[in-house]
Amino acid sequence: MIYPNATRRIKITLSYDGTAYHGWQVQPGLITIQKVVEAIVTHIEGKPVKVAASGRTDAGVHAMAQVAAFSMGNPIPTENLKQAMNRLLPTDIRILQAEEAPAAFHARFDAKSKIYEYRIWREEVCPPFDRLYVHHHPYPLDEPAMIAASRLFEGEHDFSAFAAADPKDALGHSKVRQIFYSVLQRRGSCLIYQVLGSGFLKHMVRNIVGTLIEVGKGNLNSEQVRKLMEQTGGRCGATSPPQGLFLVRVNYE
């Protein structure tokens, strides 16, 4: 039973189309997912509420199942909370689930792994209804070479060469990450890249995809990709566009 004014920890799973937003994290003067969600929860609670997600997504990046958490005193049942939030939120952000969580639950620090997916449209013409959710690249690529190179990222590596500059770099945190699987495959008109890892650095997935595209163009080979992961000062391929990237799932088990 939830008593009035008792502090509760709420875990939400949300899905969003990132097209119209400047990413997850609150930024002065910009519309972000976090800003919109916090405004809704603050309205329901009647006082400011901080909503923390499992991690940031960049401007234009989408989420199938992002996880976030916040504390509130309002005794509204979680199912009613989900319905209330969805009534107030814009239709490109949906709450899939709201549930009670332990008081110490942290959406970011308790996460064990995440799955991302990146979609590359390979046909000459990209349907207008897909253009906001794929990277359109109709030019020649050695797809078998890209598929083979995608497995090179599996295992524990220092991904410094695949990370964009981040203000948190000054803290000296390790850029070693564990990748449990890294797979590129053709599905119909798309090349689909899926990666499961313990965590990801800023632009890391988009830089990996950009590197795989360079492999497909013949500008990099597998040995050069291996060397990029062995040196912190290497230079990976270009950062691929954000609209092809989806946060698929955050795992806590």
Q: Is residue 107 part of a domain?
A: no
In this structure, the answer to whether residues 153 and 34 fall within a common structural domain is no
Q: What single-letter amino acid sits at 10?
A: I
- Dist CA 157 CA 80 (whole Å): 44
- Pick from 101, 135, 161: which residue ends a domain? 101
How many other C-beta atoms lie within 10 A of the C-beta of residue 85?
20
Range of the domain at 247: 113-251
In this structure, the answer to whether residues 145 and 219 fall within a common structural domain is yes
Catalytic residue ranges: 58
- Going from the C-alpha of 70 to that of each of 17, 101, 171, 189, 218, the distances in angstroms are 21, 10, 26, 40, 47
What pLDDT does residue 235 have? 72
User: Which CATH number fits the domain that encloses residue 84?
Assistant: 3.30.70.580
User: Which CATH number fits the domain that encloses residue 215?
Assistant: 3.30.70.660
Q: Is residue 87 part of a domain?
A: yes
In this structure, the answer to whether residues 84 and 144 fall within a common structural domain is no
- Pick from 71, 101, 131: which residue ends a domain? 101
- C-beta separation of 229 from 191 below 8 A: no
Q: How many domains does the chain have?
A: 2
DSSP string, the chain: -PPTT--EEEEEEEEE-GGGSS-SS--TTS--HHHHHHHHHHHHHTS----EESS---TT-EEEEEEEEEEE-----HHHHHHHHHHHS-TTEEEEEEEEE-TT--TTTT--EEEEEEEEE-SSS--TTTTTSSEE--S---HHHHHHHHGGG-EEEE-GGG----GGGGGT---EEEEEEEEEEEETTEEEEEEEES---TTHHHHHHHHHHHHHHTS--HHHHHHHTT-TT---PPPPPGGGEEEEEEE--
In this structure, the answer to whether residues 88 and 126 fall within a common structural domain is no
What pLDDT does residue 165 have? 77
In this structure, the answer to whether residues 130 and 36 fall within a common structural domain is no
In this structure, the answer to whether residues 124 and 240 fall within a common structural domain is yes
pLDDT of the chain along its 253 residues, tens only? 344 556 999 999 999 999 999 999 999 999 999 999 999 999 999 999 999 999 999 999 999 999 999 999 999 999 999 999 999 999 999 999 999 999 999 999 999 999 999 999 999 999 999 999 999 999 999 999 999 999 999 999 999 999 987 767 667 788 899 999 999 999 999 999 999 999 999 999 999 999 999 999 999 999 999 988 887 666 788 999 999 999 999 999 8
- Pick from 101, 129, 150: which residue ends a domain? 101
What pLDDT does residue 253 have? 83
What pLDDT does residue 232 have? 66
In this structure, the answer to whether residues 122 and 154 fall within a common structural domain is yes
In this structure, the answer to whether residues 56 and 156 fall within a common structural domain is no
| 188-219: burial string, b at 16+ Cβ within 10 Å, e else | ebbbbbbbbbebbbbbbbbbbbbbbbbbbbee
What pLDDT does residue 3 have? 41
What pLDDT does residue 166 have? 73
Q: Is residue 108 part of a domain?
A: no
What pLDDT does residue 27 have? 95
In this structure, the answer to whether residues 231 and 130 fall within a common structural domain is yes
In this structure, the answer to whether residues 186 and 121 fall within a common structural domain is yes
In this structure, the answer to whether residues 68 and 130 fall within a common structural domain is no
What pLDDT does residue 234 have? 64
Closest CA to 136 of 123, 121, 146: 121
